[in-house]
Amino acid sequence: MPTALDNAIEIIRLRQSVRTYDPARPVGKKERDRLEACMQENRAGPLGHTVRFKLLDLGEVSREELRQLGTYGVIRGASLYLLGAAPDREGAMEDLGFCLERILLEATALGLGSCWLAGTFRRASFARQMGLTEGELLPAISPLGYAAPRQRLMEKLMQRGARCRQRKPWRELFFTADGRTPLSPEEADSYRDALEAVRLGPSAFNCQPWRLVKDRDGQFHLFLQENRLFNRALGKVRVQNLDMGIAMCHFALVIRQQDITGRWKRKAGEREYPGWSYIASWQASC
Ligand SMILES: Cc1cc2nc3c(=O)[nH]c(=O)nc-3n(C[C@H](O)[C@H](O)[C@H](O)COP(=O)(O)O)c2cc1C
């Protein structure tokens, strides 16, 4: 079976949000087993928090419970959902974003569709299914399944509204040490594909709030250009911090294939840039 690690950048290119599923094609046992294994392997985020996942099969919940689970009509035809829980602590959103995206890329490699949902689902009902413990949040879920042969009109409209296929150009995302001069793909050198993988990532409402700076020592630092109103609209669930975790996941997966070892780390006293919040730095270990 293919895995997202075989060719990360291609899997990242392939992934796109699927909101209409084929109810006649349930996810098979082999695929579920692979997903379960991936859920176990990816519970530790780079910023030090442990997250938790559950595969929820709607065929196994009672009619009464089923009535309360919903996505406000956004998702159609899916009977399997991946639920992601994280502790209510600073940095845990990034860790959940990192680990959940890793599993969704595995799903892509298995030929399955998915769609990050942080807003359009009944959080309290799914949280009951997750069995949240004290101090835990359910920031996001995703349907998993085979895409229906045809999209619904609503899905097409949503994609157009969020300009889903479009991404900002390099010059708006990646910078040299002054935080203003754009970093060219040539200057990114062996990190070129890793940055491209960040650029292609999904983000809430396709805002693409990630900004990366290459400093004079060749180290990369990740920042969030926050839309405060949007990022705080869901209370403790910070969707744009989830986006940051997704960016870290894409970067780490692609760089690993190039035999560059390293890890993301939040460092104290990192340089500040106006309008950006510091998230983490990539520390290459060779
Ligand atoms: C953290 C996060 C939260 C999201 N929440 C929702 C949501 O609540 N409802 C929805 O329909 N799409 C949601 N999306 C999907 C984005 O709209 C989508 O990823 C983006 O428009 C890019 O499109 P693509 O995934 O097809 O590349 C979310 C994506 C992310 C990363």
- DSSP secondary structure letters along 42-62: --B-TTS-B-EEEEEEGGGS-
pLDDT tens per residue, range 105-149: 999 999 999 999 999 999 999 999 999 999 999 999 999 999 999
pLDDT at 4 over 80: no
The Cα 262–Cα 282 span in angstroms is 7
CA–centroid distance, 208 to ligand 1, in Å, is: 11
Evaluate: CB of 139 within 6 angstroms of ligand 1: no
pLDDT at 286 over 70: no
CA–centroid distance, 153 to ligand 1, in Å, is: 17
pLDDT at 162 over 70: no
Residue 181, judged by CB atoms within 10 A of its CB (0-12, 13-18, 19+), counts as exposed
Residues of the chain with CATH 3.40.109.10: 8-152
The Cα 60–Cα 53 span in angstroms is 17
Residue 221: per-residue pLDDT: 97
Which among 151, 142, 26, 150 is positioned nearest to 79, based on CA atoms?
26
User: What pTM, to 2 d.p., does this model score?
Assistant: 0.96
pLDDT tens per residue, range 38-76: 999 999 999 999 999 999 999 999 999 999 999 999 999
Residue closest via CA to ligand 1's atom 3 equals 204
pLDDT at 274 over 80: yes
**Ligand 1, closest atom to CA 240?**
1
Residue 239, judged by CB atoms within 10 A of its CB (0-12, 13-18, 19+), counts as buried
Round the average pLDDT of the chain to a whole number and report it: 94
pLDDT at 2 over 80: no
Residue 201: per-residue pLDDT: 98
* Residue of 95, 116, 244 best suited for mutating to test ligand 1, as the one with most atoms within 8 Å of CB: 116
Evaluate: CB of 242 within 6 angstroms of ligand 1: yes
* Residue of 15, 16, 17 best suited for mutating to test ligand 1, as the one with most atoms within 8 Å of CB: 17
**Ligand 1, closest atom to CA 158?**
11
Per DSSP, the three-state class of 213 is strand
Terminal-to-terminal C-alpha distance of the chain: 31
Residues of the chain with CATH 3.40.109.30: 160-284
Evaluate: CB of 201 within 6 angstroms of ligand 1: no
pLDDT at 165 over 80: no
Measure Cα distances from 199 to 63, 196, 261 in Å: 42, 5, 21
Per-residue pLDDT averaged across 193-198, rounded? 98
CATH, domain 160-284, list 3.20.80.10, 3.40.109.30, 3.40.50.300, 3.30.1370.60: 3.40.109.30
- Whether 96 and 242 have beta carbons less than 8 Å apart is answered as yes
Per-residue pLDDT averaged across 172-191, rounded? 96
Residue position matching structure tokens 């001069």: 181
Per DSSP, the three-state class of 220 is strand
Evaluate: CB of 114 within 6 angstroms of ligand 1: no
**Ligand 1, closest atom to CA 239?**
1
CA–centroid distance, 159 to ligand 1, in Å, is: 9
CATH, domain 8-152, list 3.40.50.620, 3.40.109.10, 1.10.530.10, 3.40.50.2300: 3.40.109.10
CA–centroid distance, 136 to ligand 1, in Å, is: 22
Evaluate: CB of 151 within 6 angstroms of ligand 1: no
Per-residue pLDDT averaged across 18-41, rounded? 97
CA–centroid distance, 239 to ligand 1, in Å, is: 10
Q: What percent of the chain has pLDDT over 70?
A: 99
The Cα 251–Cα 201 span in angstroms is 10
Measure Cα distances from 135 to 49, 138, 169 in Å: 13, 10, 39
